[in-house]
A and B are shown apart, each in its own frame.
Chain A
Amino acid sequence: MIEFFINGQPVQAEDNQTVMQAAKANGFFIPYFCWHPQLSVPGNCRICMVEVTNEGQAEGTGWLEIACNMPISKGMRVLTDSDKVKKRRKETLQFITLNHPVDCGICDKAGECTLQDYHYEYNGSPSVSRDVKVHATKHYPLSDRIVLDNERCIMCTRCVRFTREVSKSNSLGVQSRGDHSLIRPVEDGSFETDPYSDNVIDICPVGALLSRPFLHKARVWYLEPTASVCPGCERGCNVKLWHRKTEWKLKALDPQQNARIDRVTPLENDAVNGPWICNKGRDLAQVFERARAEQAMLKGEAVELQAAIVIAREMIKAARRPVALVSNWGSNEELAAFYGALGPRFACHVKRDWQPAPGERLEDDLLIKPDKNPNSAAALALFPALPADPRTAFPPDTDLVLVWGEGFSFAQLPPKARIIYLNSWLQPENGHADVFLPVSVQTERSGHYTNFQGAVSAFEACFAKKAGVADAETLFGAMGAAS
């Protein structure tokens, strides 16, 4: 450990830390654009200038140095807000905004833009230039998912370093030089196929890299995040689901917008996903906004949910050899409820609700795992997995099968067995079940998933449950009740 001083206060830091790292660890804020804790240090934005005076050096003779690349030394005195620093910061911001279009009014990043924040914090005065700005490509489609606005780009190269150091696709680079420098994808199209490409949108400190699905969808200050877990694979990345704030709910226009996932961003969790998620996680809206099953049914005939539960309970009670297929999309709480209420009654097998989609990356060194379901670890801790040939899971005299969750073809069930089916989605199988019970989805309830490493992550409800839909947890209790 080394002791040095930030703004006069003694600070303890690790030997090989930089001023930026030590300041961050000790609660001092130094502004930065290009620096990122997970990426290499390019030192190109020059906004993190601090005044440094070495031990033994006279007061007032300090020099300015970028905090992100400055190794600490014993007794060194760092000033993060001296007059010299403030002046330099202001000048640097003037340089950065010199050719920036300042079109915050139509920029999706407005409201969560680092440049905007720093401008108000450290500069605040109008442009000192009266010369025309350098114009560049305003709308460069980097991929089907991302559009690049080169005028807004401040050349921090975080995106370039991300593809080189994290996603390893090496798919972005800097073209040309000087104030004509442009971020461009490499020509082999590898950025299109980089499954982590959308992270560059998050790490872009300005509105240069924009999500095409989210483009001009909502101002970010109308949105709020709810902590959730991506169910896309057994990694269980922590995510934020962004949706409209209650106070900004729309009364006119399309009310569906009030129950919409506007975008998904990573929720930093070093034990699971760090600050990243893959593109599949960004597209969770496509998973959760499929048509929902909202009506309990008996052989396709609509009934009251309560009536259906009673019938299901009687069927379970009467069954001689019941088999259950447990969903690995169930939360830890739901699995525990099932285990407690119905587990002893059934021969249970864990089925995989989701299989890898054609062309989907199966596994890599960063995040993506082969099992494309969120809670296999917890489910398999309670029950055995469904055999490779599912038919062997059913004894010849099976007379009842409880199927929980989607992704299982009824053709594989013994033909004489009756079926209780719990599903959230509007799917053809629903009508073929003897009893169909619609259940809530992850965005309508809270719970936990356990990932493949045993890390437990929580998700919260962000939307109201649909009428006629029940939580699986309650259903299991009701179906297992004595009478």
Chain B
Amino acid sequence: MTGRKLIMNFEVTPTSHLLADYRARGGYATLERVLREMRPEQVTKEVVASGILGHGGAAFPAGRKWGVIKLNDGQPHYLCANADEGEPGTFKDRWILENAPHLLLESMLISAYALQVRNAFVYIRGEFDLPYRRLAAAVEEAYAAGWFGQGILGTDFSCDIVVYRGAGSYVCGEASALITSIEGKKGYPRNRPPRLTVRGLYQRPTVINNVETLANVTTIVAQGGEAFRKVGTAKSPGTQLVSISGHVQRPGVYEVEYGTPLAKFIYEECGGVLGGGKLKCIVPGGISTKVLTAAEIETVTYDHASLTAAGSGVGSGGMVVIAEGTCMVRLLQILLRFYHHESCGQCTPCREGMGWMHRIIDRIVAGDGRPEDIDQLIRISNANDGTTICGMGDAAGYATVGIIAKYRDEFEYFIEHKRSKLDGRLEVAAGVVA
């Protein structure tokens, strides 16, 4: 085990997604207590005290985001759960939506109470089928049981929820593009300032949190912010749901306490590389974080400070294990094809840069690369760093620079010999998958 569990202390059974089961486990008791005994500010205080960082990728302190919302400022506030889990390699929110949708709903109600939100939204990824059906069913159950609607539990707190399905755009997972999409417009990210907590959905103060971040709120409020801080490290309190995939023996969703040694998690908990192969590198948190080589992860612990110091990040918790023998040139080609396909095309550097990088890497893989192409990729990546409206341009740049910096020899070899340095050596899958 990799330490204490906060969300996954919730045992998954065939009925765990149903209200009756959730109630039997003590579900909605926290909400009841909040509505009866706590003032909204007290809830926010607990969340601030917990020090929880956003679990969507940017690791922004959720308490600080909530703190921007001014209660009683005479205008509606909105709360939105970001369930548009589109970062490649990430499928942790899906676990919550499929297995514990009521945990999310209860957390959202508590959050809505704290932020004086009358209308809450869940923006769920369009490709999610089972998660959507489970969540929609849970919302119906919750309405029928009176957990949503007018005067919840006889108090004067009212809250409604809308589940909004996305249409498959990666960029719509970015908070401002997400709300633009909810508004019924093309999912373009917005310029900051103003921040969304000042002017967000329908031009009103809006809090958008990742599903996992919100799912933690019930625990935080139930235990108290200070108790929550006892899990994890000082700078990264709590746990992270990690979805691990790729060339790994036991892929799946794990809850990892911050501070756990990364090597221990990968080699012991997840069983190491598939088929007993050798580890080449990992993508620690969604493909937009820089890769870490096998040597680098030996000293890294799984928390924000340590991963940032290693030049990468916790990101969205979507870990991908890459075995020795994988061609990094082709890996980058796949990544860049994805970024090219998903660039929304609003602002110049990303719109033009993603396609440009994709065409260059395609050319390299087709055997028409030139030595200067490698630096060109780095140059385009850097020109995207901090120049775009949302973070997608930067993300593609990090991924590219990260891979090239560590595996430049493979690129040089590919360009010179017009074929991969690692042809035919990826044998991890043989005989093991079954």
- A→B interface (CB under 8 Å): 41-47, 49, 63-64, 66, 69, 71, 88, 91-92, 94-96, 98-99, 128-132, 134, 154-155, 173-174, 176-181
Contact = CB atoms under 8 A, between A and B. Distances in A.
B128 interface: no
Contacts of B164: none
B341 interface: yes
B349 A95 contact: yes
A95 B353 contact: yes
B356 interface: yes
Chain B: interface size category: 20 to 34
Given A43-B191, A71-B193, A131-B359, A178 B386 contact: no
A264 B344 CA distance: 36
A174 B345 contact: yes
A132 B348 contact: no
B351 A178 contact: yes
B352 A96 contact: yes
A180 B356 CA distance: 12
Interface string B250-261: 000000000000
Contacts of B341: 178
Contact of B389 (A44, A131, A134): A44
B349 A98 contact: no
A179 B360 CA distance: 15
Contacts of A92: 348-349, 383, 387
B23 interface: no
Given A46-B388, A66-B191, A95-B383, A178 B349 contact: no
A131 B346 contact: no
Contacts of A178: 340-345, 351, 354-355
A129 B348 CA distance: 16
A319 B370 CA distance: 94
A66 B348 CA distance: 13
Contacts of B356: 95, 98, 129, 131
Contacts of B69: none
B308 interface: no
Nearest to A95: B352
Contacts of A99: 352, 355
Interface in B376-419: 376, 383, 386-389
B186 interface: yes
B344 A177 contact: yes
Contacts of A63: 386
A180 B359 CA distance: 14
A132 B360 CA distance: 10
Contacts of B193: 69, 71
A91 B350 CA distance: 12
A365 to B, nearest CB: 23
A63 B387 CA distance: 10
B84 to A, nearest CB: 16
Given A134-B355, A155-B345, A179-B351, A91 B383 contact: yes
A339 to B, nearest CB: 55
Contacts of A179: 340, 343, 345, 351-352, 354-355
Contacts of B191: 41-43, 66, 69
A2 to B, nearest CB: 16
Contacts of A94: 383
A45 B354 contact: no
Nearest to B341: A178
A372 B46 CA distance: 68
Nearest 5 A/B pairs, CB to CB: A181-B345, A179-B355, A95-B352, A43-B191, A91-B383
Contacts of B343: 177-179
A49 B354 contact: no
A154 B346 CA distance: 10
A44 B347 contact: yes
Nearest to A46: B348
B386 A177 contact: no
A43 B389 CA distance: 8
B330 interface: no
Contacts of A45: 347-348
Given A46-B347, A69-B193, A92-B349, 14 more contacts: A44-B347, A64-B386, A64-B387, A91-B387, A99-B352, A132-B359, A134-B355, A174-B345, A176-B345, A177-B169, A178-B340, A178-B342, A178-B343, A181-B345
A265 B345 CA distance: 31
B65 interface: no
A155 B387 contact: no
Contacts of B388: 46
Of listed B370, B386, B387, residue having the most chain A CB within 10 A? B387
Contact of B351 (A128, A132, A155): A155
A44 to B, nearest CB: 4
Interface string B19-43: 0000000000000000000000000
A41 to B, nearest CB: 7
A88 B384 CA distance: 10
Contacts of A181: 345, 351
A16 to B, nearest CB: 12
Interface string B312-356: 000000000000000000000000000011111111110111111
Contacts of B383: 88, 91-92, 94-95
A154 B348 contact: yes
B389 A128 contact: no
B199 interface: no
B225 to A, nearest CB: 32
28 contacts: A41-B191, A44-B348, A45-B347, A45-B348, A46-B348, A46-B349, A47-B348, A49-B387, A63-B386, A66-B191, A91-B349, A94-B383, A95-B349, A95-B383, A96-B348, A98-B352, A128-B376, A129-B356, A154-B348, A155-B348, A173-B186, A176-B345, A177-B169, A177-B343, A178-B351, A178-B354, A179-B343, A179-B355
A44 B346 contact: yes
A155 B186 CA distance: 14
A64 B386 CA distance: 8
A387 B356 CA distance: 69
Of listed B186, B191, B344, B386, residue having the most chain A CB within 10 A? B191
A176 B342 CA distance: 11
A128 B348 CA distance: 16
B42 to A, nearest CB: 34
Of listed B169, B340, B352, B386, residue having the most chain A CB within 10 A? B352
Contacts of B359: 131-132
A368 B234 CA distance: 66
A131 B363 contact: yes
A47 to B, nearest CB: 8
Contact of B347 (A43, A129, A132): A43
Given A44-B389, A69-B193, A128-B376, A180 B363 contact: no
Contacts of A134: 355
Contacts of A173: 186
Given A71-B193, A95-B383, A179-B352, A42 B376 contact: no
A46 B387 contact: yes
Contacts of B340: 178-179
Of listed B342, B343, B346, residue having the most chain A CB within 10 A? B346
B312 to A, nearest CB: 22
A313 B389 CA distance: 73
A42 B387 contact: no
A130 to B, nearest CB: 8
A92 B345 CA distance: 14
Contacts of A42: 191, 346
Contacts of B360: 131
A91 B387 CA distance: 10
